[in-house]
Structures are given as structure tokens and as C-alpha cells.
């Protein structure tokens, strides 16, 4: 999450700084396809009912009309604009009929939103013959799947002039079919929208009107009762950016929290509400506030009262048949100093399995002990059926910012590939007690390098390379898990990943996991209080600053970049990787994206393919053997052969495709749809939804 103080950095890598969260319905007759409601197999194949198509996060479609041979005929079918880019937000340089100031062209910053970026990260749903899209301003649109024509629109009235600690983000909505309601009853099909200003709203999928029987006339206010020690949530710092999970009649929702303000920020409590009434069914705080909490042994008794976060800001997965939800938890507050929270900090930086009906703890697996690096579990856990030793094992795959893949038994949390606790560097900061070991999977192999040396520094010329080499040499950098320091520490992998919210796609036929991996090093430095006050009085360009109140140290951080804004870490700066989970081995990898010409000084031509680019945006895998992904800085959607990684097709987008694409079949035709609007300058800003189909002429 973003710290409270922010200063924009210029050029290529600076664009990445916005990297920086009633009784249950009986499940026996309700399958996993629609939040627990069984539907016909044919209709299930046609639709996209969850953020990742299924509740388990696979981003996989069984449709085959578009395959490795036919994908070359894919063409634009339709394009619409959501209306989130308005002249009221932007003034200055014209961009496709909308004026945008020069300094916001790269950042996508909203002039009336206190400099927040607009990040169009949504993945639409297609259900009941309607396409549902949420926008960064939390508006919801119902579109005709064949034409993109708007059928209805809902505006929750988010105050865009308020200052938020996150950018304007909505990664999507969730849906539930009230199987007990009559066919024509209002709100039989419900959409659940969680907003940047911390409201959970239920809409009628047919009309877009609020469902008055849910909560307070359609709304549950999530920012109540989450402050620690009697404090209310700070306005604009307690948010929701990801869609809730809907499983067996309950709606499970986490939160994004403005981190690094202080140690006792808001609680990371996860709550479940009745899908029909909005009544609270259960709540679960990953930090142990009671003596019988399963994480109690990993915390000091005095720390739990002064530590917030460990929140679930990314996408929650669910297994309706087993009555399980899987929570990807973040770090405890603050991110980069843990002296006030000694111990492993159990259940933070973990995947936590709970009973969906009751919130009862089942198991957990921690990917980082005592996090000091902002290594949240940012990727949605992916539920897979793993073929192994002649049988099938129910598994969950956890991707991490470190580039680690942990493959666990879905029912117990036990690793299905060996995991080792290995010694890691200690802290030299007074008051800090870094955990002496960290978990490393033996297989699959780590997808990100773990050591960045002066000799590996990159530069487009000798001067840039010398600058990067000197910066690395003068900083602390003993490989992965080197703690932040007063000297300044090179963080590699950086706190953006590895893997982030864009997650992974799973092809069950090929037992192939397709993973986008980011490779941008960061620099993090702690400052004693007097030094920190001097630093923020005269901030250096490119740095972010955070006070970390309640600790002895403030913090600054920025991407490790040259004076030209080119990453000091060696390319590719992102790659797409295929992992064979039958064997736990790397099947293929290739650079992802391309750096456009003119994006930073000294780059008059596009960067070489081998460089890749900075990326944010998820993959989509299909039964046709094709993986789709955009994600890069060059505003293009690409298709690759899932089995080999071979490039098959690509097309221009009107803005950055920094979201995960989806696919559906409507009236006998398969479409691929992606939100194109950029995120913090990694892609061009915009408010487009773009659809492709075979032999289309849109």
C-alpha cells in the first residue's frame, strides 16, 4: 500500500511507483459455478461468473473456438468507453477528445483526485447474457456482450475529491444467484460492489438498482469498528479495491489499508455477510487479539494491541464443495520495520484457510516470517486438481512477490513439493529482530533471481551503468531477504514482485501454470526521526516517504533506476513463465511487453524485445491452448501458445491493458474482452473496454 507522503518519480521506472489490498445456504445441491448454485454445463462454459472465472482463481476457460490455429483471425469486435475520463478530471493536453495535463499523461493522474492515479484493473463478468464492468470510480455498467451497448449504469457516488491512500481502483464485482427467489423476483441475480470508500453494496443484476433488503437499504458500511484502541478508521485510508468472494450464501470481503502511516493502523479483519440480508455472519482478524487465536504463539503479547493490517487486499479464493475460503494476507504494520512486533507474526504474509460458513480456522501457511519487505501475498491463491502419482490431489498454489511458488494440499496446507527453512541475512538496525530463516520451495524453481551485484548492473550507456554499479555497491545487498537498513538496502526481488495481484492462470489439461513475473529492483532506507524530518523537508525526486509513527524510524523508497530513469536491474523487466506442475519444473519463459519509444530520455526507438517492459496485468488461459495477456507499457494484447510460450498473435489497444482479460461465448461466438485504461503510467491512460472475436469487423 502507498505511504502517506508521495513524490512522483520521472520516466520509465518511476511509472512503477504506483505499485504501491441467518444460517448458511445448504451447499449439497449447489455447485461451484455460480457462488454455490449449480447451472447447466453448457451455460457454465459460456459464462465468466467470477473475477477469475471460477471461485478457485484459475483464469481458465473451457472454450475452444479460439485455438492456436484460429487465433490469427482474431479481430476487433467492439470498443466502448466507460466515461471515467471526463474533462472535469483532466485539464491540459488532449488525449482522444479528453484533455490531460502533460505531467499526468504518463501517470494517469486525476487532477481533481489529489493526484491519485486511475487504474483500470477490472476483469468483467458475463452472466445471464449480460457483461458487467466496474470502473475505477466504482461505477458499474451492464453491457450487451455482442455489441458493448450500455443497458444500465449504477453510480455509487464515490467522492472523487477526497484524498485516498490508494489510487482509484476497482478490480471487479461479484455475483450470486438467489436460488430461492422466483424467476422474476427483484434481486434474484445480485451483484456485489465493494468501493474505494469502504462500502459493500448489493445491486439487482437486471436493473442496476440497489437491493433494499441488503444491509442499510442496499449498503453495508465496512469502515466501522475496524480502528484499534477505540480509534475510528482514518478517512480515505480504509478502502476496498478487490471484489469480494461469494460462497454458499455468504459474501466474504477484505480491505486495503493505507500502510506505513503508523504501526497501529486499522485492523485487517476479514468479514462475511449474509448474501441476502447483509447481516454479519462472522469475522476473522489474522492478528491474534484473543488468547485462543491460532496465531498467538507467533506474536508477543504486548505487540498485538499496537499492530494493525495483515489485511486481505487482493482476491479471495473459495472451494464451495469443501466449505473453504482461502485468504491471501498482507504484512503487519508497518511494512519495513518490525521492532514493535517481534516474532514470526503468524498468519500475516500467509494463505489462511477458513470455513466459509463459520469463519472457523482450518490451516495456514506462512510464506514470509516477520515481514520487513512489503512482501504481501498479493496473488489470488489458485485452486487446482494436481495430477500426481497416477491420481489427482486437491491443491492450492500460492505465488509470491519473491518469485516463489508454494504448492500445498488444499485440505491440510501441507506442502506437496518440499519446502526448506534457509538462513537469511540479519538486521543491523537497532531494535529490529529479523527472523533468522525463511521458507524456500525446493520445487517449482524460484522464478526470480535472488542476488543483484554491482557487476550485474544494467545501463543503456557507460554513464548509466556506472551510476547503477556505484549505487548497488554503496548499499546493503546480501541477496533476497536482506532487511532494510539505515545505510539503504537493495531489495531484489522488489516489493512489486515477482508476482502481484495480477496472479496466474492454470491450464488443467496441460497441468501448466502461466505466471507473469516482474523484475524491478527497489531501494529502501530507514531514517532516524531527526534525519527523516530533514529528508521530507527537502525531498529527493523519485522517493516515497512514510513516517511509520509508533516506531523509531521513518522510511523512504524508490525504484532502483539510473538518471535516465532506466532500471538498474538487468532485463527482462518482466517475463511470462510456464511451469509444469506435474514435474514441478520450468517449461518455458519469455520476455513480456516492450518499452515504447520516447517513454524516457535517450530512448528514441522502442526497447528490444529481450528487455520486456514494466508490467501489471493478468493472464487468461483457454482450452484452445492459448494464453492471452497484455500488461506491458506498449498497449498491446498478446496471445501465446500455453504449451510452449510461442507468440501467436497481438493487437493494439487504445490504452494500457493493465488488467486480466476474460472470455465468453455469446450467441455462438467466443469473445475475448479486456479493460484498457492503464495503471499509473505503465500503460497509457484511458477508459476503454475492448472486445475481440474471430473474423470480426468492429
Per residue in 339-355, pLDDT (tens digit) is 999 999 999 999 999 99
Question: Which pLDDT score, from 0 to 100, does residue 93 have?
Answer: 41
Q: Could you tell me if 504 and 513 are in contact, meaning their C-beta atoms sit under 8 angstroms apart?
A: yes
466-471 mean pLDDT: 98
Q: Could you tell me if 265 and 257 are in contact, meaning their C-beta atoms sit under 8 angstroms apart?
A: yes
Give the chain's domains with CATH numbers: 11-21+32-694 (2.140.10.10)
Determine the Cα–Cα distance for residues 558 and 556; give it in Å rounded to an integer. 7
Band (84; pLDDT cuts 50, 70, 90):
confident
- Sign of torsion over alpha carbons 324, 370, 314, 451: negative
pLDDT greater than 90 at residue 105: no
pLDDT greater than 90 at residue 19: no
User: What share of the chain has pLDDT > 90, as a percent?
Assistant: 83
pLDDT greater than 70 at residue 17: no
Distance, CA of 97 to chain centre: 30
Question: Which pLDDT score, from 0 to 100, does residue 103 have?
Answer: 45
Computed on alpha carbons and rounded to an integer, the radius of gyration of the chain in Å comes to 23
Question: Which pLDDT score, from 0 to 100, does residue 161 have?
Answer: 83
User: What share of the chain has pLDDT > 70, as a percent?
Assistant: 89
Question: Which pLDDT score, from 0 to 100, does residue 679 have?
Answer: 83
Q: Could you tell me if 485 and 526 are in contact, meaning their C-beta atoms sit under 8 angstroms apart?
A: yes
Query: For the chain, what is the total number of helices (H) and then of strands (E)?
Result: 5, 44
97-122 mean pLDDT: 57
- Of 128, 374, 507, 634, catalytic: 374
Determine the Cα–Cα distance for residues 47 and 41; give it in Å rounded to an integer. 10
Backbone region of residue 501 per phi and psi (left: phi > 0; alpha: psi in -120 to 50; beta: other values) = alpha
Band (166; pLDDT cuts 50, 70, 90):
confident
pLDDT greater than 80 at residue 96: no
Per residue in 167-189, pLDDT (tens digit) is 899 999 999 999 999 999 999 99
pLDDT greater than 60 at residue 25: no
212-238 mean pLDDT: 94
Q: What is the helix (H) or strand (E) element at residue 203, kind and residue range?
A: strand 199-204
pLDDT greater than 80 at residue 15: no
Backbone region of residue 179 per phi and psi (left: phi > 0; alpha: psi in -120 to 50; beta: other values) = alpha
Question: Which pLDDT score, from 0 to 100, does residue 602 have?
Answer: 64
Band (8; pLDDT cuts 50, 70, 90):
very low
Per residue in 420-440, pLDDT (tens digit) is 999 999 999 999 999 999 999
Band (600; pLDDT cuts 50, 70, 90):
low
Quickly count: other Cβ atoms within 10 Å of residue 477's Cβ: 25
Band (385; pLDDT cuts 50, 70, 90):
very high
Determine the Cα–Cα distance for residues 674 and 26; give it in Å rounded to an integer. 35
Q: What is the largest CA-CA distance in the chain?
A: 71
Exposure letters 89-116 (e unless 16+ CB within 10 A, then b):
bbeeeebeebebeeebbbbbbbbebeeb
- Sign of torsion over alpha carbons 488, 8, 116, 672: negative
Question: Which pLDDT score, from 0 to 100, does residue 110 have?
Answer: 52
Band (229; pLDDT cuts 50, 70, 90):
confident
pLDDT greater than 50 at residue 37: no
CB half-sphere exposure, 663, CA atoms < 13 A: 30
228-233 mean pLDDT: 89
Band (107; pLDDT cuts 50, 70, 90):
very low
249-272 mean pLDDT: 97
Vertex 536: Cα angle to 532 and 542 (nearest 5): 110
54-65 mean pLDDT: 98
Question: Which pLDDT score, from 0 to 100, does residue 148 have?
Answer: 98
pLDDT greater than 90 at residue 549: yes
The mean pLDDT value of the chain amounts to 90
pLDDT greater than 90 at residue 373: yes
Question: Which pLDDT score, from 0 to 100, does residue 681 have?
Answer: 67
In 3D space, the residue among 383, 387, 414 whose CA is nearest the CA of residue 399 turns out to be 383
659-680 mean pLDDT: 95
Question: Which pLDDT score, from 0 to 100, does residue 248 have?
Answer: 96
pLDDT greater than 60 at residue 38: no
pLDDT greater than 80 at residue 465: yes
* 374 in active site: yes
DSSP states of 479-528 as a string?
STTPPPBSS-EEESSBTTBSS-TT--EEETTTTEEEEEEE---EEEEEEE
Of 3-17, 314-328, 486-500, least confident by mean pLDDT is: 3-17
Amino acid at each position: 500500500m502507498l505511504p502517506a507522503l508521495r513524490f512522483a518519480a520521472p520516466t520509465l521506472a518511476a511509472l512503477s511507483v504506483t505499485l504501491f489490498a441467518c444460517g448458511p445456504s445448504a451447499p449439497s445441491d449447489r455447485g461451484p459455478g455460480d457462488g454455490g448454485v449449480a447451472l447447466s454445463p453448457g451455460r457454465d462454459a459460456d459464462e465468466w461468473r467470477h473475477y477469475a472465472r471460477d471461485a478457485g482463481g484459475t483464469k481458465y476457460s473451457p472454450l475452444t473456438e479460439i485455438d492456436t490455429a484460429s487465433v490469427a483471425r482474431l479481430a476487433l469486435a467492439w470498443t466502448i468507453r466507460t466515461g471515467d475520463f471526463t474533462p472535469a478530471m483532466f485539464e491540459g493536453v488532449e488525449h482522444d477528445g479528453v484533455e490531460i495535463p502533460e505531467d499526468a499523461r504518463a501517470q494517469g493522474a486525476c487532477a481533481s483526485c489529489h493526484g491519485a492515479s486511475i487504474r483500470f484493473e477490472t476483469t468483467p463478468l458475463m452472466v445471464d447474457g449480460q457483461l458487467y464492468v466496474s470502473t475505477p470510480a466504482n461505477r458499474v455498467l451492464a453491457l450487451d456482450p455482442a455489441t458493448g451497448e450500455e443497458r444500465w449504469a449504477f453510480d455509487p457516488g464515490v467522492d472523487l475529491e477526497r484524498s485516498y491512500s490508494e489510487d482509484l481502483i476497482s478490480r471487479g464485482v461479484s455475483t450470486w444467484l438467489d436460488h430461492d427467489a422466483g424467476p422474476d423476483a427483484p434481486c434474484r441475480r445480485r451483484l456485489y460492489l465493494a468501493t474505494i470508500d469502504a462500502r459493500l453494496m448489493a445491486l439487482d443484476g437486471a436493473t442496476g438498482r440497489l437491493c433494499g433488503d441488503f444491509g442499510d437499504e442496499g449498503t453495508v458500511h465496512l469502515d466501522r469498528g475496524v480502528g484499534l484502541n477505540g480509534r475510528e478508521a482514518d478517512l480515505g485510508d480504509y478502502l476496498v479495491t478487490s471484489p469480494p468472494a461469494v460462497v454458499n450464501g455468504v459474501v466474504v470481503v477484505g480491505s486495503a489499508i493505507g500502510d506505513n502511516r503508523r504501526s497501529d493502523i486499522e485492523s485487517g479483519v476479514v468479514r462475511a455477510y449474509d448474501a441476502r440480508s447483509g447481516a454479519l455472519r462472522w469475522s476473522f482478524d489474522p492478528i491474534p487479539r484473543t488468547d485462543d487465536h491460532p496465531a498467538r504463539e507467533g506474536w508477543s503479547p504486548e505487540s498485538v494491541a499496537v499492530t494493525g493490517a495483515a489485511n486481505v487486499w487482493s482476491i479471495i479464493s473459495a472451494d464451495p464443495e469443501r466449505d473453504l475460503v482461502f485468504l491471501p494476507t498482507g504484512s503487519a504494520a508497518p511494512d519495513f520495520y518490525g521492532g514493535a512486533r517481534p516474532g514470526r507474526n503468524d498468519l500475516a504474509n500467509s494463505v489462511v484457510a477458513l470455513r466459509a460458513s463459520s469463519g472457523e480456522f482450518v490451516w495456514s501457511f506462512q510464506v514470509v516470517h516477520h515481514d520487513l519487505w512489503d512482501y504481501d501475498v498479493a496473488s489470488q491463491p489458485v485452486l487446482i486438481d494436481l495430477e500426481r502419482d497416477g491420481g489427482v490431489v486437491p491443491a492450492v498454489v500460492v505465488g509470491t512477490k519473491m518469485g516463489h511458488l508454494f504448492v500445498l494440499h488444499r485440505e491440510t496446507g501441507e506442502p506437496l513439493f518440499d519446502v526448506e527453512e534457509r538462513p537469511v541475512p540479519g538486521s543491523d538496525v537497532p531494535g529490529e529482530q529479523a527472523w533468522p530463516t525463511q521458507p524456500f520451495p525446493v520445487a517449482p524453481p524460484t522464478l526470480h533471481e535472488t542476488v543483484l551485484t554491482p557487476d550485474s548492473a544494467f545501463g543503456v550507456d557507460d554513464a548509466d551503468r556506472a551510476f547503477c554499479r556505484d549505487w548497488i555497491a554503496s548499499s546493503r545487498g546480501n541477496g533476497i531477504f536482506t532487511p532494510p537498513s539505515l545505510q539503504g538496502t537493495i531489495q531484489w526481488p522488489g516489493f512489486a514482485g515477482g508476482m502481484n495481484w495480477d496472479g496466474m492462470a492454470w491450464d488443467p489439461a496441460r497441468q501448466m501454470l502461466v505466471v507473469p513475473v516482474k523484475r524491478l529492483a527497489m531501494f529502501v532506507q530507514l531514517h532516524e526521526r531527526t534525519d527523516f524530518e530533514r529528508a521530507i523537508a527537502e525531498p529527493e525526486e523519485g522517493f516515497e516517504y512514510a513516517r511509520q509513527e509508533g516506531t523509531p524510524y521513518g522510511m523512504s523508497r524508490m525504484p532502483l533506476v539510473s538518471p535516465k530513469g532506466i532500471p538498474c536491474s538487468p532485463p527482462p523487466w518482466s517475463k511470462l513463465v510456464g511451469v509444469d506442475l506435474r514435474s514441478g519444473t520450468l517449461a518455458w519463459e519469455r520476455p513480456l511487453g516492450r518499452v515504447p519509444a520516447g517513454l524516457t530520455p535517450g530512448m528514441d526507438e522502442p526497447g528490444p524485445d529481450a528487455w520486456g517492459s514494466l508490467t501489471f496485468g493478468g493472464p487468461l488461459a483457454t482450452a484452445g491452448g492459448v494464453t492471452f495477456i497484455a500488461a506491458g507499457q506498449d498497449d498491446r494484447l498478446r496471445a501465446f501458445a500455453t504449451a510452449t510460450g510461442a507468440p501467436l498473435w497481438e493487437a493494439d489497444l487504445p490504452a494500457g491493458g493493465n488488467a486480466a482479460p476474460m472470455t465468453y461465448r455469446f450467441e455462438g461466438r467466443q469473445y475475448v474482452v479486456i479493460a484498457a485504461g492503464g495503471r499509473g503510467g505503465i500503460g497509457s491512460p484511458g477508459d476503454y473496454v475492448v472486445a475481440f472475436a474471430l473474423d470480426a469487423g468492429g
